Amino acid sequence: MGKQTKASDIRTWSEEEKEKRLMDLRSELLSLRSIHTGGGVQDNPARVKQIKRAIARILTVMNEK
């Protein structure tokens, strides 16, 4: 997910695709956090914020019913 994903686009995804992308984003966030806590330098420090917002966006769409 390089570019910001809109909620309207997420609504068109299947449930399996939402789950897969959510797991991918969470694993990427975990790896970025481990780099940060290990004292490493990130290529794009703003990426953490982007990932957290994308996760929240997907969860919001999944919780709509």
Q: What is the pLDDT of residues 12-64, one digit of tens each?
A: 999 999 999 999 999 999 999 998 888 877 788 899 999 999 999 999 999 99
Residue 12 vs residues 18, 58, 61: alpha-carbon distances, Å: 10, 12, 10
Q: What is the pLDDT of residue 42?
A: 73
Q: What is the pLDDT of residue 2?
A: 55
As a whole number, mean pLDDT of residues 6-15 equals 94
Domains of the chain: 13-63 (1.10.287.310)
Q: Rounded to two decimals, what is the model's pTM? A: 0.86
Rg from Cα positions in the chain: 13
pLDDT of 1 > 70? The answer is: no
